[in-house]
Amino acid sequence: MTIRSFWMTRREELCPHPRGVRVGARLPRQDGGRHGLVAVRISDKWVSLVVCALAPGPMWYSELARKIAGVSPKMLTQTLRSLERDGILARTVTPSVPVRVDYELTPLGLSLSLLLAGVKDWAETHIEEVHEARERYDAGAES
């Protein structure tokens, strides 16, 4: 068993899908399953951090790497490429020494950043309630 298959199996045990669909399965849809793939993409941790980091304006790769704590160069590069492919951000290469690469949100990315800002605001507003709910739950589980 590979590490990936182990974690996928473990994930299915810990977070079963309410309709009994295995994790990673594509649900049949009229749009060919594309809806679910977009939802998976924008719910990724690194995607939300990159989009929020770029919301104020364009940034260089190195600026993004410094602003997003804990992201590896490989993960940042993969995330940026996938967002460019999806039309969420634009990549501009300026020939110079060294080469300068700027990333900025497209209009589609800006609309996504507004939604993510709303989620961030909700989380900041309700963090205490979430912590209190966790404490109540944990206290009940111990008894």
- Reported as a single tens digit per residue, the pLDDT across 83-101 is 999 999 999 998 988 888 9
Bridge-partner residues for 104, per DSSP? 90
Q: What CATH number is associated with residue 51?
A: 1.10.10.10
Q: Do 81 and 48 sit in the same domain of this protein?
A: yes
- Report the alpha-carbon distance of residue 89 to residue 105 in Å, rounded: 4
* pTM of the complete model: 0.66
Q: Do 61 and 97 sit in the same domain of this protein?
A: yes
pLDDT exceeds 50 at position 132: yes
Is 105:59 a contact under the CB 8 Å cutoff? Answer: no
Q: Do 14 and 43 sit in the same domain of this protein?
A: no
| Number of independent structural domains in the chain | 2
Strand 89-94 to 59-60 pairing: unpaired
Cα distances from 58 to residues 7, 90, 113, 140, in angstroms, run 36, 9, 13, 48
Q: Do 8 and 61 sit in the same domain of this protein?
A: no
Q: Do 26 and 57 sit in the same domain of this protein?
A: no
Domain housing 55: 39-142
